Each structure stands twice: as structure tokens, then as C-alpha cells.
Amino acid sequence: MPNITFHVDEEIIKKAKKIAVDKDTTVTAMLREYLHSVVEKAEIEKKSFIRDVERSFSSLQRDMGNRKWTRDELHERHEIH
């Protein structure tokens, strides 16, 4: 497992260690759980956003009827006299 090094105020570390002891865990485990929850929340939000966009597209989709033209006809250039 990769390691991450970062700097935190010493007072915060002391308080975090006390909380970890009270919860019968470690600061490392608390940080691991926090990062896991951040990633999980982001993934849920992304999936929700994609569902919303797909729902919008399907609700806004309209039947345009039969096509009576070809791509070439649409791009055909006409001379102006």
C-alpha cells in the first residue's frame, strides 16, 4: 500500500490521537476511512449526475418523423445567380 506524507499542525495531531484512542483505532485508520468516504461520496455524486443527465436527455428527446433527405443533400452546395 502506498504511503502519503503531509504536514499537519502538532496540536491537531495530538487531538486526533486522543480521539483515535477513544475510538479504539489509529489516526492512520481514521484518515484511511475519511479518504474512503470522500471517494465514495464523489462516486455516488458522479453516478447521480450521470443518471440526471440521461433522464433529461430521454425526457427532452422528440420524434422528428421520417427523414426525407440524405446527408449529401443537406451538404449540397447551390449556386447563387
More confident residue, 8 or 60: 8
Q: Is residue 65 part of a domain?
A: no
44-60 pLDDT per residue, tens: 999 999 999 999 988 88
Q: Spell out the residues 6+ positions from residue 29 whose beta carbon is closer than 8 angstroms to its own.
A: 20
68 inside domain: no
Is 80 a member of any domain? Answer: no
pTM value is 0.64
- Domain membership of residue 23 as a residue range: 7-56
Checking if the pLDDT of 31 tops 70, the result is: yes
**Total domains present in the chain:** 1
Cell numbers 443518471 correspond to: 51
Residue with cell 495531531: 13
Angle at which helices 27-60 and 10-22 cross, to 10°: 90
Helix residue ranges, H only, 1-81? 10-22, 27-60, 71-74
For 63, 64, 76, the CA distances from 72, given in Å and listed in that order, are 22, 19, 6
Quick check: is 45 in a domain?
Answer: yes
pLDDT tens figures, 65-77: 787 878 888 887 7
Domain assignment of residue 69, yes or no: no
